[in-house]
Amino acid sequence: MTAALTLVSTLGLVGHASASPDWADLSVPADAGDGREWVVDEQFSVDFNQEDKAAALGTGWVDRYINGWRGPGRGHFSSEHSRVKDGKLELVSRWDGPDKMKLGVASTTAALTHPVFVEARMKVSASVLSSNFWLLSEDDVQELDVVECYGTQDDAGNPGEAGANYHIFERDADTNDVIKDHGHQPEHFAPDGGGAWRDGFHRFGAYWKDAWTVEFYYDGKLVRTLTKDDINDPEGRGMDRPMRMILDLEDHSWRVKQGITPSKESLDDPETNRMWVDWVRVCRPR
């Protein structure tokens, strides 16, 4: 069952999306519940149809990471490596020396909490980098990965599958290093009809219904559901912390150790060195 959309400013927030955003005719694939409808949160819903990046990001998004973390592997997040062009947000990866690359990133200015449906229409990078749409709590403890996708899985050029997952971390109080990850292994999915995710734009969404229920939707189809039996939380709280949304490219450290990391040529090639985001919408059941 799907529910119709109502385009209004929620919670007193001032929206900036266009009068008819790109996703306006797409119903939310998740069920809002009996007698309820999906209401768009205009602060965080963006369609990038403005020429200026700051105007396109609006009040809900910024072109940087949520804290001082520079990024995984050889990657360093950079505000200079994102731009808005032709109604899309482009996050770019560029060579910056033998042991360093610059990576585009965008994140929300405030945290969200359940119940909320989030969805992005993206085209993942064709490189071995991971293209990501995810949520992270301010204390770096809880994480929801709406999608992590390697456009190219390995140096042989095999296409990567898209993964949906969660993490609950125990971290060192002094260094913030991960001591233990209580999350499951991700479940991976290929596009319906074959092909590769890198070949076109796709929708990746999640309905964070409550602390113990998360539904993941790819191209409007339910692909995975997390319930209390699936979520391993040593504190018994579930996914209860407010989280900020993040869009980014990452050079995952464990893949770097295996020698799977972009070449200078890949990072110089505009066909492989970026991911595109057409729009992001955030909806709440009312």
Residue 148 among the catalytic residues: yes
Q: Is 207 exposed, middle or buried (0-12, 13-18, 19+ CB in 10 A)?
A: buried
Rounded to whole angstroms, how far apart are CA atoms 78 and 70? 9
pLDDT tens digit sequence for 92-115? 999 998 889 999 999 999 999 999
Contacts of 179 (CB under 8 A, 6+ apart): 169, 170, 171, 172
Residue 12 — pLDDT band, cuts 50, 70, 90? very low
Residue 77 Cα to chain centre, angstroms: 15
Catalytic residue among 90, 119, 148, 250: 148
Q: What percent of the chain has pLDDT over 90?
A: 82
Residue 68 — pLDDT band, cuts 50, 70, 90? confident
Section 54-75 average pLDDT: 94
pLDDT above 70: residue 227: yes
Place of tokens 């994140």: 107
CA distances from 177 to 76, 168, 184, 238, 251 (A): 18, 13, 19, 21, 17
Section 192-201 average pLDDT: 94
Residue 5 — pLDDT band, cuts 50, 70, 90? low
Contacts of 210 (CB under 8 A, 6+ apart): 114, 115, 238
DSSP SS3 for 245: strand
Section 45-52 average pLDDT: 95
pLDDT of residue 184: 79
Section 192-221 average pLDDT: 97
Residue 143 among the catalytic residues: yes
Q: In this structure, are residues 129 and 93 in contact, taking their beta carbons and an 8 Å threshold?
A: yes
Rounded to whole angstroms, how far apart are CA atoms 28 and 13? 21
**Local structure of residue 220 (DSSP, 8 states):** T
Q: In this structure, are residues 108 and 60 in contact, taking their beta carbons and an 8 Å threshold?
A: yes
Give yes or no for a cis peptide into 186 (omega within 30° of 0): no
Catalytic residue among 143, 161, 170, 215: 143
Quick count: other Cβ atoms within 10 Å of Cβ 204? Answer: 28
Dmax (CA) for the chain in angstroms is: 57
The CATH number of the domain covering residues in 61-285: 2.60.120.200
β-strands 202-210, 61-62 pairing: unpaired
Rounded to whole angstroms, how far apart are CA atoms 26 and 45? 14
**Local structure of residue 228 (DSSP, 8 states):** T
Domain coordinates in residue numbering, the chain? 61-285
pLDDT above 80: residue 8: no
pLDDT of residue 9: 43
The two structure tokens encoding residue 110: 């405030």
Altogether, the residues listed in the chain come to a count of 286
Q: What percent of the chain has pLDDT over 70?
A: 93
pLDDT above 80: residue 224: yes
Question: pTM score, two decimals?
Answer: 0.93
Q: Write down the number of H helices and E strands in the chain.
A: 3, 19
Nearest residue to 246 via CA among 283, 280, 197, 203: 280
Nearest residue to 238 via CA among 215, 264, 210: 210
